[in-house]
């Protein structure tokens, strides 16, 4: 079988968790390839809502194995808590059901302390990180001084490395950021305890993935964050610190170049972003609350990880075309179509303008969007509630027109339209 990859085409929170859950039925493995517990993936199954930060969303299917790949940064405290959460809901979490890459880096409290100190030092130029220590953990990886999952296997050596790790971070905390140092000796017993619990899960996960594919089994690679938060090709510097793009699934799982099958781009029917950074189609008028919601519904636009209200805006077709190109998206799932019902207008950004010049692409990627103004196309709106609709034919013609325009603007077919968070609230199209 060929690897299937699910990737967010916007600034995260597109509904990847919901889509991965939908596509995981019958998959042997679902593997996260990037990011850490900065991610927040909400999956609704009947009356149960799962909020996952680290474990792959596909693990909610009892027959599917979860993998955290090489490109993931693992906070052991979050991981163990999440493993317990799944167990409390009747799901088995054993080394037969979950594997961690030997090469995945670990997040420790010093990374979180450094994240907070660095944000504070940025003053008014804060990035608005999730505070989970993501940037400092990937910095340690690049600086070749990080702790890795395989370090958990030898407790004596781990204790030594942990002390060195805390001492190095304390130097930065105290001297660069004038923050309080951490007490390494006090933290060590907790980390040794984490190590004992996680040792049986550490593995060479690339081998597992390749063996499963060779046996003809389905493997789904699950991206966290979204295209525009990618460290290299996102809206730098307002990005996360990992490679979130579909091609990163290969290095992020530790597998070689191989045939890749579907690359499913998850696109929200409108646009959201948490944290600072450019957002050309941002909506500030009375439509903002209609897109965001008030927080009364579980899917309203408030961060799963931090609870912050998400910024909202109209779908940005220029950035979507860019996401399709740099990921190699072959098909899309359009989520939250139900939320657009009842809006007085449906608006899609189809190009950008600078002075008299119209751009159908960005000359230098999305790094500096400040001089670009969105050019909109207004489409007819619809009032009907879509949440109970299950077939293309039943959709109001204005909603069909919206989906078709998204396909034209992005150049990629929409194979699923999600009209609610529940497993069955989806319209499948033959594309
Ligand atoms: P992710 O980070 O990409 O996995 O997305 P999040 O889970 O952070 O945010 C998506 C939210 O929208 C979750 O609360 C989902 O349950 C919800 N959701 C997903 N698809 C739909 C949909 O089609 N309609 C509605 N109303 N909610 C959805
Ligand atoms: P999922 O997987 C939305 C954003 C943060 C901040 C920037 C950097 O749920 O789509 P970081 O803590 O990563 O250093 O923060 O990235 N961010 C996300 N926004 N969804 C996410 O994940 C995000 N993960 C990070 O808000 O702007
Ligand atoms: Mg999310």
Could you report the per-residue pLDDT of 75-97, keeping only the tens digit for each? Answer: 999 999 999 999 999 999 999 99
Ligand 2 in reach of 39 Cβ (< 6 A): yes
φ, ψ dihedrals at 375, nearest 5°: -105, 120
The total of structural domains in the chain comes to 2
238 and 189, same structural domain?
no
Q: Mind listing the pLDDT tens digit for each residue in 414-428?
A: 999 999 999 999 999
20 CA: nearest ligand 1 atom = 4
- Give 305 Cα–ligand 3 centroid separation in angstroms: 7
Last residue of one domain, picked from the residues 174, 201, 228: 201
Look at residue 7 in the predicted model and tell me its pLDDT. Answer: 98
State which H helix or E strand residue 46 sits in. Answer: none
Ligand 1 in reach of 71 Cβ (< 6 A): no
Look at residue 275 in the predicted model and tell me its pLDDT. Answer: 87
- Give 12 Cα–ligand 2 centroid separation in angstroms: 7
Last residue of one domain, picked from the residues 170, 201, 232: 201
Quick one: which ligand is closest to 266's CA? 1
Is residue 46 assigned to a domain? Answer: yes
> Which residue in 335, 349, 343 sits closest to 289, CA to CA?
343
Q: Mind listing the pLDDT tens digit for each residue in 346-366?
A: 999 999 999 999 999 999 999
420 CA: nearest ligand 1 atom = 24
Q: SS3 of 51, please? A: strand
303 and 415, same structural domain?
yes
Ligand 1 in reach of 304 Cβ (< 6 A): yes
Q: Mind listing the pLDDT tens digit for each residue in 147-191?
A: 999 999 999 999 999 999 999 999 999 999 999 999 999 999 999
Q: Is residue 304 over pLDDT 80? A: no
Q: Whose CA is nearest to atom 25 of ligand 1?
A: 420
- For the segment 99-118, the average pLDDT, to the nearest whole number, is 98
Is residue 381 assigned to a domain? Answer: yes
Q: What is the CATH number of the domain that holds 126?
A: 1.10.300.10
Last residue of one domain, picked from the residues 201, 220, 242: 201
Is residue 406 assigned to a domain? Answer: yes
62 and 162, same structural domain?
no
Ligand 1 mutation target, pool 7, 34, 42, 414, most atoms within 8 A of CB? 42
Percent of the chain with pLDDT over 70: 100
Q: Mind listing the pLDDT tens digit for each residue in 253-279?
A: 999 998 899 999 999 999 999 989 999
Look up the domain containing 23 and give its range: 3-91+205-428
Q: Is residue 198 over pLDDT 80? A: yes
Q: How far apart are the first and last CA of the chain?
A: 20
Is residue 100 assigned to a domain? Answer: no
- Dihedral Cα 389, 412, 210, 212, nearest 10 deg: 20
Q: What is the CATH number of the domain that holds 264?
A: 3.90.170.10
36 and 110, same structural domain?
no
Report whether 86 contacts 135 (CB < 8 A).
no
Q: Is residue 431 over pLDDT 70? A: no
Report whether 22 contacts 426 (CB < 8 A).
yes
Q: Which residues of 216-226 are buried (b: 16+ CB within 10 A; e: fewer)?
A: eebbbbbbbbb
Helices (H), 215-282: 248-253
DSSP type of residue 422: B
Ligand 1 in reach of 223 Cβ (< 6 A): no
pLDDT confidence bin for 46, thresholds 50/70/90: very high
222 and 192, same structural domain?
no
Look at residue 100 in the predicted model and tell me its pLDDT. Answer: 98
User: In whole numbers, what is the pLDDT of the chain averaged over residues?
Assistant: 96
78 and 223, same structural domain?
yes
Look at residue 303 in the predicted model and tell me its pLDDT. Answer: 84
- For the segment 41-50, the average pLDDT, to the nearest whole number, is 94
Q: Mind listing the pLDDT tens digit for each residue in 373-426?
A: 999 999 999 999 999 999 999 999 999 999 999 999 999 999 999 999 999 999
What residues are neighbours of ligand 3 (ion), with CB under 5 Å?
13, 40, 304
Ligand 1 mutation target, pool 7, 14, 18, most atoms within 8 A of CB? 18
Q: Is residue 308 over pLDDT 90? A: no
Q: Mind listing the pLDDT tens digit for each residue in 65-75?
A: 999 999 999 99
Is residue 96 assigned to a domain? Answer: no
Ligand 1 in reach of 133 Cβ (< 6 A): no
Q: Measured between alpha carbons, how far is 104 from 119 in angstroms, rounded to an integer?
A: 25
136 and 21, same structural domain?
no
- Give 221 Cα–ligand 2 centroid separation in angstroms: 19
Q: Is residue 344 over pLDDT 70? A: yes
Q: Which residues are catalytic?
A: 13, 41
> Which residue in 410, 411, 318, 315 sits closest to 358, CA to CA?
318
- Give 82 Cα–ligand 3 centroid separation in angstroms: 16
φ, ψ dihedrals at 338, nearest 5°: -60, -30
């Amino acid at each position: 079988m060929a690897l299937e990859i699910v990737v967010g085409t916007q600034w995260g929170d597109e509904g990847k968790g919901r889509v991965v859950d939908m596509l995981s039925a019958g998959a042997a493995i679902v593997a996260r390839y990037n990011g850490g517990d900065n991610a927040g993936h909400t999956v609704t199954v009947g009356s149960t809502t799962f909020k996952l930060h680290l474990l792959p969303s596909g693990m909610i299917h009892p027959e599917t194995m979860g993998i955290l790949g090489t490109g993931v940064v693992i906070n052991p405290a979050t991981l163990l808590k999440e493993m317990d959460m799944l167990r409390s809901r009747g799901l088995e979490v054993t080394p037969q059901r979950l594997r961690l890459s030997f090469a995945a880096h670990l997040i420790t409290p010093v990374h979180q302390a450094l994240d907070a100190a660095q944000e504070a030092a940025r003053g008014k130029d804060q990035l608005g990180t999730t505070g989970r220590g993501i940037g400092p953990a990937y910095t340690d990886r690049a600086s070749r001084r990080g702790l890795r999952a395989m370090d958990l296997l030898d407790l004596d050596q781990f204790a030594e490395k942990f002390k060195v790790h805390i001492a190095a971070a304390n130097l930065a905390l105290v001297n660069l950021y004038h923050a309080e140092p951490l007490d390494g000796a006090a933290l060590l017993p907790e980390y040794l305890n984490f190590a004992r619990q996680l040792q049986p899960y550490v593995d060479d996960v690339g081998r597992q993935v390749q063996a499963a594919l060779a046996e003809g089994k389905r493997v789904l690679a699950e991206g966290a964050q979204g295209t525009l938060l990618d460290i290299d090709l996102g809206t730098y510097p307002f990005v996360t610190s990992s490679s979130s793009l579909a091609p990163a699934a290969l290095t992020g799982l530790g597998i070689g170049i191989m045939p890749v099958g579907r690359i499913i781009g998850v696109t929200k029917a409108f646009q959201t972003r948490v944290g600072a950074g450019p957002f050309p189609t941002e909506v500030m008028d009375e439509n903002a609350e209609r897109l965001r919601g008030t927080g009364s519904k579980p899917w309203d636009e408030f961060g799963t990880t931090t609870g912050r209200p998400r910024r909202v805006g109209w779908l940005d077709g220029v950035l979507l075309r860019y996401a399709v190109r740099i990921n190699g998206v072959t098909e899309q799932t359009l989520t939250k179509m139900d939320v657009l019902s009842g809006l007085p207008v449906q608006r899609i950004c189809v190009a950008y303008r600078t002075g008299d010049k119209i751009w159908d692409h960005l000359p230098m990627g999305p790094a500096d969007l400040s001089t670009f103004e969105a050019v909109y196309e207004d489409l007819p709106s619809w009032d009907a509630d879509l949440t109970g609709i299950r077939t293309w034919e039943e959709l109001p013609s204005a909603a069909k027109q919206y989906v078709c325009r998204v396909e034209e603007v992005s150049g990629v077919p929409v194979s699923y339209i999600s009209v609610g968070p529940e497993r069955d609230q989806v319209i499948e199209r033959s594309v």
